[in-house]
């Protein structure tokens, strides 16, 4: 994993001075380095991770800037009550230790790296087994646990058809003689969700006497 740049912006002059001094400390972290930004640059570049204080957070929200996560340095009694916040906020209470901030950001970056390695990428979509999300650039579809098991099973057998019996055995561990209505109901619901949410038709195909087949090329 390459070294990440974590931008910071503080309205509080004292906090800004502290972190400007931190920036001058070389090799403080093997995973990231801090970079001081003006508010204009935050609006322009829209970073995915940001370290800031309470006053700057208010500006960021009002300007509808939407990072993935903000590490917020604030007093313990400061309350965030803004319905426009659509990103994760991790509070770092004053007083704080710089080493604690480094540790928390490093833990977050490590987890992101682990999550990214789990993601399965296709031509237009990606699938995250940990969150059961099928994602493209504009939207995503979250699968139920059973839908995810069916989807994974179909993808594992994407070069051939898989019979209803084999799919039941793999997903529900059912034996011979079990009614296939449960499987058909789940696949019907999954097809409808994929069609309505992702506008993908005929992803899961069925042929009598052969079984189900997933058209992986569509993804």
CATH code at 78? 3.40.50.2300
| Closest by CA position to 89, among listed 66, 109, 62, 115 | 66
54: exposed, middle or buried (Cβ count in 10 Å: 0-12, 13-18, 19+): middle
Q: Which residues of 152-173 are buried (b: 16+ CB within 10 A; e: fewer)?
A: bbbeebeeebbeebebbbbbee
- pLDDT at residue 10 in the model: 93
Neighbours of 41 (CB within 10 A): 14
Of 118, 137, 167, which marks where a domain is finished? 118
Same domain, 184 and 110: no
Same domain, 135 and 206: yes
H or E stretch covering 88 = strand 88-93
Of 118, 139, 160, which marks where a domain is finished? 118
Query: Cα separation of 182 and 76, whole Å?
Result: 51
> Which CATH number goes with the domain that contains 203?
1.10.10.10
Summarize the confidence of residues 31-52 as an average pLDDT. 88
Same domain, 36 and 138: no
Q: Based on C-alpha coordinates, what's the Rg of the chain?
A: 24
Same domain, 111 and 24: yes
Let me know the angle formed at the C-alpha of 67 by 134 and 101, rounded to the nearest 5 degrees.
115
Query: Cα separation of 162 and 186, whole Å?
Result: 16
Strand partners, 49: 69
Summarize the confidence of residues 152-163 as an average pLDDT. 88
| Closest by CA position to 52, among listed 109, 10, 99 | 10
Count up the domains in the chain and report the number.
Answer: 2
Which pair of tokens denotes residue 160? Answer: 């051939």
Q: Which pLDDT tens digit goes with each residue over 100-150?
A: 999 999 999 988 888 777 888 888 888 888 888 888 888 889 899 889 899
Same domain, 10 and 98: yes
Same domain, 97 and 196: no
State pTM to two decimals.
0.58
Q: Which pLDDT tens digit goes with each residue over 83-102?
A: 677 788 899 998 888 889 99
Q: Which domain covers residue 173, as residue numbers?
A: 121-218
The answer, yes or no, to whether residue 178 has pLDDT greater than 70, is: no
- pLDDT at residue 2 in the model: 62
Of 102, 118, 134, which marks where a domain is finished? 118
């Amino acid at each position: 994993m390459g070294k990440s740049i974590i931008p910071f912006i503080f309205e509080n002059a004292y906090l800004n001075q502290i972190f400007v001094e931190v920036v001058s400390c070389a090799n403080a972290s093997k995973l990231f380095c801090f970079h001081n930004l003006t508010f204009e640059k935050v609006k322009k570049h829209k970073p995915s991770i940001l370290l800031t204080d309470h006053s700057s957070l208010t500006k960021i929200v009002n300007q509808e800037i939407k990072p993935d996560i903000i590490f917020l340095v604030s007093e313990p009694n400061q309350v965030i009550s803004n319905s426009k916040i659509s990103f994760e906020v991790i509070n770092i209470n004053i007083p704080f230790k710089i080493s604690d901030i480094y540790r928390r950001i490093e833990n977050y970056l490590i987890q992101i790296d682990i999550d990214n390695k789990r993601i399965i990428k296709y031509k237009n979509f990606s699938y995250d087994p940990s969150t059961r999300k099928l994602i493209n650039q504009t939207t995503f579809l979250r699968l139920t646990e059973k839908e995810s098991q069916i989807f994974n099973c179909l993808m594992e057998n994407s070069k051939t058809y898989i019979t209803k019996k084999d799919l039941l055995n793999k997903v529900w561990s059912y034996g011979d003689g079990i009614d296939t209505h449960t499987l058909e109901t789940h696949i019907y619901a999954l097809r409808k969700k994929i069609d309505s949410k992702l506008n993908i038709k005929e992803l899961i195909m069925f042929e009598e006497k052969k079984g189900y087949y997933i058209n992986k090329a569509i993804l």
